[in-house]
């Protein structure tokens, strides 16, 4: 990993640049697939599944037999682990329920807010070199708790036309009934426009590669909502001289192995810690099964020394990491001062892997600096806030003149008349 010492603030943007392509570089191919699926439906889906995933499917719908077979292929210990993680994720997301808010804003004027589930949601589960069955839990559980009526999962098949048994087991455990073997741009296109086998949905949620991320962003032009831009994984660790170098190296590599376009960064106020972490990375990397992938990600990554905590925190908020680990003696300074991060992990014994799997928080998070404005997946991602109001005769008498005066001042006479005609009857 590249070591950078005391970088000039003017160079921070270039130093912290993500290794991702811009939308302009891949927008053309994404639009081509979107338009093809919109016009040709499943015919286009089948074509792109053959092109991008290398398999031709007779049917892209997961059958009950496939769900049943998957359960027999997942080791019992792993089944128990998945069930334990499910319980923790359910507990954390169920606790996010909020009661109805009701206020009498004036005598006889009652206003209230309630949350209602988004009826139709499409959930994207990444495949590739590491099928993420944990994403099934992270997306389906809050959707179920929210009360979404139609939950459609999409995930790319392997070259044998299959989904991993772990993904299917997790889906069945969460009560999924509609699972489509389709990935990439074509999956997002199917959920956006609907096809013969893929239902059209109101909102698309879930992480993916750069093409999936851009496809989701472009899908919003066609009336579909999305959760957030969630692309290649990234992690930033802040550490001082009290941290454990081997722990930090393991955390950095845990994200580096996600994909060649992942990025990991260490920001430290200790030069000796940076050197120790660099050595640990080399040592741990040598024995990783996914060494080739992690090595490429490491080339996109940085070890950055800064002189004090204030500079470190400023740099962290400028970067806005997806995952942020705090390993310092003054952890409260960073916990209280960070404003731009998807999920924060505090202390030596809180690895990012815990959030990926089983602590209970959600691992579907904004990347590429979008933490400055977006939240990660949570229960509210599957809900809408709706407002209601009921005004009595007394209430309209109380606020009627206010409405009339404001409407007239804006030149909207019909607005005024809608109140005046009622006030005339009441008076």
Q: Mean pLDDT for each 10-residue chunk of the chain (427 residues)?
A: 94 90 82 97 97 94 95 96 98 97 98 98 87 94 98 96 96 94 97 97 94 94 93 93 98 93 96 97 96 92 97 98 98 98 98 97 95 97 98 98 98 98 95
Boundary-marking domain end, from 229, 246, 261? 229
Looking at the fold, whether 157 and 197 belong to one and the same domain comes out as yes
Tokens encoding 387: 């407002």
Domains in the chain: how many in total?
A: 3
Looking at the fold, whether 331 and 218 belong to one and the same domain comes out as no
Residue 105: closest CA among 396, 422, 412, 407: 396
Looking at the fold, whether 138 and 256 belong to one and the same domain comes out as no
Looking at the fold, whether 96 and 155 belong to one and the same domain comes out as yes
Looking at the fold, whether 165 and 259 belong to one and the same domain comes out as no
Residue 305: inside a domain: yes
Looking at the fold, whether 30 and 174 belong to one and the same domain comes out as yes
Residues classed as catalytic: 322-323
Looking at the fold, whether 261 and 410 belong to one and the same domain comes out as no
Looking at the fold, whether 197 and 318 belong to one and the same domain comes out as no
Per-residue confidence (pLDDT) for residue 20, from 0 to 100: 72
What is the CB neighbour count within 10 angstroms for residue 43? Answer: 12
Q: What stretches of 107-239 adopt beta strand conformation (E)?
A: 109-117, 120-124, 150-155, 178-181, 203-205, 225-226, 234-239
Find where tokens 């302009």 sit.
24
Domain housing 252? 2-19+232-360
Looking at the fold, whether 302 and 331 belong to one and the same domain comes out as yes
Looking at the fold, whether 30 and 150 belong to one and the same domain comes out as yes
Looking at the fold, whether 170 and 137 belong to one and the same domain comes out as yes
Phi, psi angles (nearest 5°) of residue 146 = -65, -30
Per-residue confidence (pLDDT) for residue 405, from 0 to 100: 98
């Amino acid at each position: 990993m590249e070591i950078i010492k005391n970088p000039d603030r003017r160079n921070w943007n270039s130093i912290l640049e993500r290794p991702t392509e811009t939308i302009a570089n891949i927008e053309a191919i994404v639009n081509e697939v979107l338009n093809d699926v919109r016009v040709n439906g499943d015919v286009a889906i089948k074509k792109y599944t053959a092109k991008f995933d290398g398999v031709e499917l007779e049917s892209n719908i997961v059958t009950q037999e496939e769900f049943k077979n998957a359960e027999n292929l997942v080791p019992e210990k792993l089944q128990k682990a998945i069930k334990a993680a499910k319980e923790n994720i359910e507990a954390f997301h169920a606790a996010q329920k909020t009661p109805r808010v009701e206020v009498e804003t004036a005598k006889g004027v009652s206003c209230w807010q309630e949350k209602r589930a988004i009826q139709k949601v499409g959930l994207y589960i990444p495949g590739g070199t590491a099928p993420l069955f944990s994403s099934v839990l992270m997306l389906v559980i809050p959707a179920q708790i929210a009360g979404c009526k139609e939950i459609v999962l999409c995930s790319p098949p392997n070259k044998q036309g299959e989904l991993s048994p772990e993904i299917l087991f997790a889906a069945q455990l969460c009560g999924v009934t509609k699972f489509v073997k389709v990935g990439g741009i074509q999956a997002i296109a199917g959920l956006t426009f609907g096809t013969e086998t893929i239902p059209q949905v109101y909102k698309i949620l879930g992480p993916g590669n750069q093409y999936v991320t851009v496809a989701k962003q472009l899908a919003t032009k066609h009336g579909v909502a999305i959760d957030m831009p969630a692309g290649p994984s990234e992690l930033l660790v802040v550490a001082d001289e009290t941290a454990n170098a081997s722990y930090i190296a393991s955390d950095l590599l845990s994200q580096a192995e996600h994909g060649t376009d992942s990025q990991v960064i260490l920001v430290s106020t200790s030069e000796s810690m940076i050197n120790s972490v660099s050595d640990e990375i080399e040592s741990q990397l040598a024995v990783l099964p996914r060494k080739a992938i992690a090595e490429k990600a490491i080339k996109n990554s940085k070890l950055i020394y800064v002189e004090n905590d204030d500079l470190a925190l400023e740099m962290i908020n400028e970067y806005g990491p997806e995952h942020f680990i705090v390993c310092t003696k003054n952890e409260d300074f960073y916990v209280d001062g960070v404003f731009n991060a998807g999920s924060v992990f505090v202390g030596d014994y809180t690895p990012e892997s815990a959030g990926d799997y089983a602590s209970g928080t959600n691992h579907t998070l904004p990347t590429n600096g979008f933490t400055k404005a977006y939240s990660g997946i949570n229960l509210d991602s599957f809900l809408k806030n709706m407002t209601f109001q009921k005004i009595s005769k007394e209430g309209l008498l109380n606020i009627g003149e206010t409405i009339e005066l404001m409407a007239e001042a804006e030149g909207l006479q019909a607005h005024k008349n809608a109140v005046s005609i009622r006030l005339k009857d009441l008076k």
